[in-house]
Amino acid sequence: MQMPEPSQDIMNQREALAVALRQIVGQEWVISDEAERRPYQCDGITAYMAMPLLVVLPGSAAEVQQILRFCHAKGIKVVPRGSGTSLSGGALPLEDGILLVTSRLCNVLEVDAANRVARLQPGVPNIKISEAVQHLGLCYMPDPSSQLISTIGGNVAENAGGVHCLKYGVTANHILGLEAVLMTGEVIRLGGAYLGAAEGEMDLMGVLTGSEGLLAMVTEIAVRLEPVPEVARVISMSFASVEQACACVGAIVGAGIIPAGLEFMDRKVLDAVSVLIRETFDSNTAALLLCELDGTAVEVDALVDVVSDVARTQGAIETKVSTTEEERQRIWSSRKLAFSAIGKLCPDYYCTDGTIPRNKLPEVLNKMADMSVKYGLDYANCFHAGDGNLHPIIMYDAAKPGDLEKAEAFGADVLIACVDAGGVLSGEHGVGVEKRDLMTHQFTDIDLNQQQMVKCAFDPAELLNPGKVFPTACRCAEFGRMHVRNGVVRFPDIPRF
């Protein structure tokens, strides 16, 4: 993984910059000591590490504004970070850039139950939103697996999904307003704290969401709240083959049902979790589907019947339906423990998140089996089947020379297979540094240029999170003059990172 060459000149200014930034945020909120910076070296993807120049923890949006204005004037790069749970290296530090951490911006600013909106600072952990409105019978729907730790600001940056986004949508579908600071220190406010507050505006909010911290630093988020569904039940369905399980996914959706969640686990995952949950699975089971249905009791009962019928028709070996909340939690525990269970089987694992059209599931899963043979690495599958979001778990041993590289190559092959099947490189983890160099497989140079032109509109100096998402720098200054006719590859001489 190659990153832009750090500037030695800026790295030499570390102490002077720390002094200046302390004037903005206060003495204790700039971390310059090497030992104290070390925990910030990586995010959720530990394979990539870099020491940040400084770690800065602002206490208000006004401080964010001053920091960015200062860094802009000095030409200092800035990497935004929430809790650092990114699984694509989105918050990977730069040695010549400051890490701007939102941990202190962690207040729920307002809960407006009547208009069903909450206003939040970016450092609020996802789970805290639902906790803050639970007593009102409301919740915040997007629930990434990292929700205990990951922040709403990070969720906005990565357009986070989660188990329930099949029915309820991803982060972008739940954001009503954003306040953000551009790299120049200019504050912009988009949308507002009610449904429809962004009507008639250019959808800059839409492009900021999922922009992986490259366009602006979000300082306030207005989210929509939903009533907590009256009841949720989960159906567990086991199948003798992966193909049958995949076919059942399509059949459920084809029957006109949008489950709240629809998850797939293969035999390897089941074997790994069975130890943890002290439950055995039928020996003929090759794959298990978990289908959650929510709504009113009457509605859910009706849907449970339909899904059970579909499962039978699709040849399910066994179908179990939760009748109590405890049973529902127990059935889900196998899925929730899947990743830690696999972690016990191998020293290290690597997980990507390509997304494909549902009907391509068998095709891509078969290709994965071939790749496993090719690379000599074992793998397991546990993923969001309902929306075709794959999470292959590639097992390797970092202590074995060459194993990590093989795992990475395996992962890249899976992502390429996803794109070739009409899908995308990332469903919810983001591109970050991890999938950056694969972007040219999904997009043409023209597509990427168009995206980078937008970067130039927001951050022409390219100081905000550079080296992420795109395999080349923008060269904003030159774009204005460039024009090459269709089909001609632009900038063949651009240095790739």
Question: Rounded CA gap, 254 and 249, in Å?
Answer: 8
Q: Does the footprint of other proteins cover residue 161 (CB under 8 A)?
A: yes
Q: Does the footprint of other proteins cover residue 443 (CB under 8 A)?
A: yes
| Contact of 428 with 50, CB cutoff 8 Å | no
Question: Rounded CA gap, 423 and 356, in Å?
Answer: 4
Closest separation between CB of residue 412 and other proteins, Å? Answer: 14
Task: Residue 79: name the closest of 24, 157, 136, 165 by CA.
Answer: 157
Question: b/e map of 252-267 (b: 16 or more CB within 10 Å)?
Answer: bbeeebebbbbbbbbb
Q: Does the footprint of other proteins cover residue 202 (CB under 8 A)?
A: yes
Among 330, 358, 406, 475, binds other proteins (CB under 8 A): 358
Question: Rounded CA gap, 275 and 279, in Å?
Answer: 7
Q: Which amino acid is at 174?
A: H
Among 64, 99, 124, 356, binds other proteins (CB under 8 A): 356
Among 268, 391, 429, 468, binds other proteins (CB under 8 A): 429
Written as six digits, the tokens of 75 are 């030409």
Closest separation between CB of residue 132 and other proteins, Å? Answer: 16
Among 2, 46, 173, 323, binds other proteins (CB under 8 A): 173
Closest separation between CB of residue 160 and other proteins, Å? Answer: 8
Question: Rounded CA gap, 46 and 1, in Å?
Answer: 13
Q: Does the footprint of other proteins cover residue 468 (CB under 8 A)?
A: no
Binding mask 93-112 for other proteins (x = CB under 8 A): -------------------x
Strands, E assignment, 374-440: 379-384, 392-396
Scan residues 118-157 and list those touching other proteins (CB under 8 A). Answer: 136-138
Binding mask 470-489 for other proteins (x = CB under 8 A): x---------x--x-xx---
Angle at 290 (CA atoms; ends 285, 291), nearest 5 degrees: 140
Question: Rounded CA gap, 226 and 228, in Å?
Answer: 6
Residue 52 or 142: the one with the smaller Cβ distance to other proteins is 142
Closest separation between CB of residue 30 and other proteins, Å? Answer: 28
> 351 to each of 146, 156, 356, how far by Cα in Å?
14, 21, 16
Closest separation between CB of residue 208 and other proteins, Å? Answer: 9
Give the phi and the psi of residue 27 in degrees, each rounded to 5.
-50, -55
Closest separation between CB of residue 203 and other proteins, Å? Answer: 5
Q: What is the DSSP letter of 210?
A: T
Residue 52 or 144: the one with the smaller Cβ distance to other proteins is 144
Total residues binding other proteins (CB under 8 A): 103
CA dihedral 29→218→47→161, nearest 10 degrees, is 140
Scan residues 267-326 and list those touching other proteins (CB under 8 A). Answer: 295-299, 301-303
Q: Does the footprint of other proteins cover residue 456 (CB under 8 A)?
A: yes
Q: Does the footprint of other proteins cover residue 392 (CB under 8 A)?
A: no
Torsion over CA: 7, 9, 10, 15 (sign): positive
Q: Does the footprint of other proteins cover residue 362 (CB under 8 A)?
A: no
Written as six digits, the tokens of 26 are 């206060």
Residue 102 or 389: the one with the smaller Cβ distance to other proteins is 389
Among 14, 22, 69, 189, binds other proteins (CB under 8 A): 189
Scan residues 44-83 and list those touching other proteins (CB under 8 A). Answer: none
Among 5, 131, 203, 370, binds other proteins (CB under 8 A): 203
> 472 to each of 95, 122, 391, how far by Cα in Å?
19, 29, 27
Task: Residue 393: name the closest of 412, 374, 380 by CA.
Answer: 380
Cβ atoms < 10 Å from Cβ of 78: 24
Among 59, 194, 308, 372, binds other proteins (CB under 8 A): 194
Residue 267 or 435: the one with the smaller Cβ distance to other proteins is 435
Closest separation between CB of residue 355 and other proteins, Å? Answer: 4
Closest separation between CB of residue 278 and other proteins, Å? Answer: 33
